[in-house]
């Protein structure tokens, strides 16, 4: 279900979706009120929901849609303004599955094609998981509040329990690196709230697949949630313990040694793994500075970004922890790391922080 007050955007998205063999547009609507009133009639698996609309805007329609259909996948779509970035992140906390920035002008071919690719991928992966989850849980009792979501059955032949685990690195980690994508903002907020002792001991560097403006807002949210300094990385700045550094949207964040200090180097090169910023450049570059004294975490996200860099970290003597399938919004990135056999632990999101606190306190078990 496509919901946007722009007839041009509605038509464009509908054509893109209609061209995919595994997707169908069941409704193209102008306002959030139309979406709420006609949800039962069309019964979509996924709704692409604009933020700014007459009668009922996207953020107001969101809880009403989820109240009518709890498992509806909602992807918020908005232009790249600070206000819309704030609203999109708020929407995630209210139950939206993901967000996507709309190009400022659909006439710009590159921007429109990137928007198309990202939107189709998000619809395909989030929609497919939701449908499998619905089928899987039809006959299952509901979980108690606060528990992780039920396992969805993605890649059942190679479930985490069947994949060999590596031992944690022998060296005391001197840095924590985190990579995330779809579902990442919620996961990051949960994680940083619980790893205060780790942040106080070492620097924390994060790459979240996110456009400019959105990363600015996310950094502010991470600072409030962690009660520690957090900001977008600045080219040339010295990396210090007690700080959270977030890769800015549209730039890769690498780590380089400058004298005795570790510093941030922002890279405006091409996308890596279709992403910019990407996790692999951060992971791999960190080895030149900290060698085997690296602890890395790969959280929920589409694709396989972080897996190759994680391999390099493990080869250098560091460690990788991956979020498990059940608690991931999409088990692409962590799943790729698990199946590559590079993980020392595969844990539900709510167990990652306690494990990190123990590891940084000296527990290598």
- Taking only the tens place, the pLDDT of each residue in 235-244 is 999 999 999 9
Task: Check residue 135 and give its pLDDT.
Answer: 53
* Contact (Cβ atoms closer than 8 angstroms) between residue 4 and residue 31: no
Write out the catalytic residue numbers: 181, 209, 305
What is the pLDDT confidence band of residue 152, given thresholds at 50, 70 and 90? Answer: very low
Choice between 341 and 139, residue whose per-residue pLDDT is larger: 341
Task: Check residue 142 and give its pLDDT.
Answer: 40
Q: Assess whether pLDDT exceeds 90 at residue 138.
A: no
Q: Assess whether pLDDT exceeds 70 at residue 149.
A: no
Task: Check residue 106 and give its pLDDT.
Answer: 60
CA distance 326 to 141: 16
Domain ranges of the chain: 2-134, 164-360
Q: Assess whether pLDDT exceeds 60 at residue 194.
A: yes
Task: Check residue 163 and give its pLDDT.
Answer: 66
What mean pLDDT value characterizes the chain? 90
Q: Assess whether pLDDT exceeds 70 at residue 25.
A: yes
Q: Assess whether pLDDT exceeds 90 at residue 134.
A: no
Q: pTM surpassing 0.75?
A: yes
- Mean pLDDT across the stretch 228-236? 98
Q: Assess whether pLDDT exceeds 80 at residue 251.
A: yes
What is the pLDDT confidence band of residue 111, given thresholds at 50, 70 and 90? Answer: confident
* Contact (Cβ atoms closer than 8 angstroms) between residue 330 and residue 176: no
Q: Assess whether pLDDT exceeds 80 at residue 256.
A: yes
Q: Which residue has the tokens 């940083």?
A: 192
- Partners of 50 in the beta sheet? 77
Asked if 2-134 and 164-360 have one fold, the answer is yes
SS (H, E, C) the chain: CEECCCHHHHHHHHHHHHCCCCCCCCCEECCHHHHHHHHHHHCCCEEEEECCCCCCCHHHHHHHHHHHCCCCEEEEEEECCHHHHHHHHHHHHCCCCEEEEECCCCCCHHHHHHHHHHHHHHHHHHHHHHHHHHHHHCCCCCCCCCCCCCCCCCCHHHCHHHCCCCCCCCCCCCEEEEEECCCHHHHHHHHHCCCHHHHHHCCEEEEECCCCCHHHHHHHHHHHHHCCCEEECCCCCECCCCCEEECCCCCEEEEEEECCEEEEEEECCCCECCECCCHHHHHHHHHHHHCCCEEEEECCECCCCCHHHHHHHHHCCCEEEEECCCCCCCECHHHHHHHCCCCCEEECHHHHHHHHHHHHCCCCC
What fold is seen in the domain 164-360?
Rossmann fold (3.40.50)
Task: Check residue 105 and give its pLDDT.
Answer: 65
Q: Assess whether pLDDT exceeds 50 at residue 144.
A: no
Task: Check residue 148 and give its pLDDT.
Answer: 40
At the fourth CATH level, the homologous superfamily of domain 2-134 is Response regulator (3.40.50.2300)
Q: Assess whether pLDDT exceeds 70 at residue 274.
A: yes
CA distance 247 to 293: 21
What is the pLDDT confidence band of residue 348, given thresholds at 50, 70 and 90? Answer: very high
For the chain, what is the radius of gyration of the CA atoms? 20
């Amino acid at each position: 279900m496509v919901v946007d007050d722009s007839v041009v955007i509605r038509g464009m998205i509908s054509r893109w979706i209609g061209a995919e063999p595994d997707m169908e547009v069941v409704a193209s609507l102008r306002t959030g009120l139309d979406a709420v009133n006609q949800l039962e009639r069309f019964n979509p698996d996924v709704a692409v929901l604009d933020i700014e609309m007459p009668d009922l805007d996207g953020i107001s329609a969101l809880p009403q849609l989820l109240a009518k259909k709890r498992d509806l996948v909602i992807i918020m779509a908005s232009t790249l303004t600070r206000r819309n970035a704030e609203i999109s992140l708020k929407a995630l906390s209210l139950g939206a599955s993901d967000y996507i920035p709309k190009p400022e002008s659909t006439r710009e071919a590159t921007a429109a094609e990137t928007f198309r690719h990202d939107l189709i991928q998000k619809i395909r992966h989030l929609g497919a998981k939701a449908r499998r989850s619905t089928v899987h849980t039809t006959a299952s009792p509901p979980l108690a509040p606060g528990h992780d979501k039920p396992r969805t059955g993605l890649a059942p032949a190679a479930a985490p329990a069947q994949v060999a685990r590596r031992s944690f690195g022998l060296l005391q980690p001197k840095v924590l690196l985190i990579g995330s994508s779809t579902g990442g903002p919620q996961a990051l907020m949960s994680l940083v709230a619980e790893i205060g002792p780790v942040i106080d001991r070492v620097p924390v560097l994060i790459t979240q697949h996110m456009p400019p403006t959105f990363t600015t807002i996310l950094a502010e949210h991470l600072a409030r949630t962690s009660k520690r300094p957090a900001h977008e990385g600045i080219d040339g700045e010295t990396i210090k313990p007690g700080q959270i550094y977030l890769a800015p949207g549209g730039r890769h964040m690498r780590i380089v040694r400058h004298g005795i200090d570790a510093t941030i180097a922002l890279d405006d090169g091409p996308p890596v793994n279709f992403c910019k910023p990407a996790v692999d450049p951060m992971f791999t570059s960190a080895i030149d500075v900290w060698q085997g004294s690296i602890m890395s975490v790969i959280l929920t996200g589409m694709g396989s970004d972080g897996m190759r860099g994680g391999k390099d970290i493990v080869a250098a003597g560091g460690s990788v922890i991956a979020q498990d399938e059940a608690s991931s919004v999409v088990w692409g990135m962590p799943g790729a790391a698990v199946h590559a056999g590079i993980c020392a632990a595969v844990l539900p999101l709510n167990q990652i922080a306690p494990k990190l606190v123990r590891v940084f306190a000296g527990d290598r078990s």
